[in-house]
């Protein structure tokens, strides 16, 4: 028996929402010469990115791992962004991590804090977090659905992310 899509027919009879709770593991990879070797290919001038650039990002990653609140916030954000990308949700809004990372790098040594602050001020923070972003690998293959339940549409207003 063929089913019809009520949105196409104009015969919608109602709407329900299911909440899916799933667990995914996220591996965090230390930034080492081996883990980022592809980023150090020489450019036309024969000079590639310096290892100092990667070391600075590794120090930021290690500082982030010490800041549990910021780390949790980042993990939620990257997991949501990647899931929305996989589901091809077109209405997603850009999420800025500038404030999150500012909390972290402001607690680092003076040189690192100044470097990241200047990158932020110049609109180049994302480019200087490239290796940090790549250090988080979500294991979607082994994701587990923990619970599925039907919720009332108005319940969603009271549930915080």
Q: How do residues 8-63 score in pLDDT, each as one tens digit? A: 567 778 888 899 999 999 999 999 888 887 776 655 555 656 788 889 999 999 99
pLDDT at 8: 59
pTM recorded for the entire structure:
0.76
pLDDT category, 153, cuts 50, 70, 90? confident
Q: How many CB atoms lie within 10 A of CB 64?
A: 22
């Amino acid at each position: 028996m063929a089913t019809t899509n009520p949105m196409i027919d104009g015969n919608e009879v109602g709407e329900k929402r299911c909440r899916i709770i799933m667990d995914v593991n996220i591996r965090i990879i230390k930034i080492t010469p081996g883990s980022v070797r592809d980023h150090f290919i020489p450019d036309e001038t024969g000079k590639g990115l310096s290892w100092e650039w990667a070391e600075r990002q590794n120090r930021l990653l290690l500082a982030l791992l010490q800041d549990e609140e910021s780390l949790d916030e980042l993990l939620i954000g990257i997991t949501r962004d990647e899931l929305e990308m996989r589901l091809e949700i077109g209405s997603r809004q850009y999420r800025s991590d500038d404030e999150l990372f500012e909390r972290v790098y402001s607690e680092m040594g003076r040189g690192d804090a100044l470097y990241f602050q200047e990158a932020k001020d110049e609109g180049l923070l994302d480019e200087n977090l490239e290796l940090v972003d790549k250090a988080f690998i979500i294991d979607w293959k082994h994701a587990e659905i923990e619970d599925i339940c039907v919720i009332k549409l108005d319940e969603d207003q009271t549930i915080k992310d």
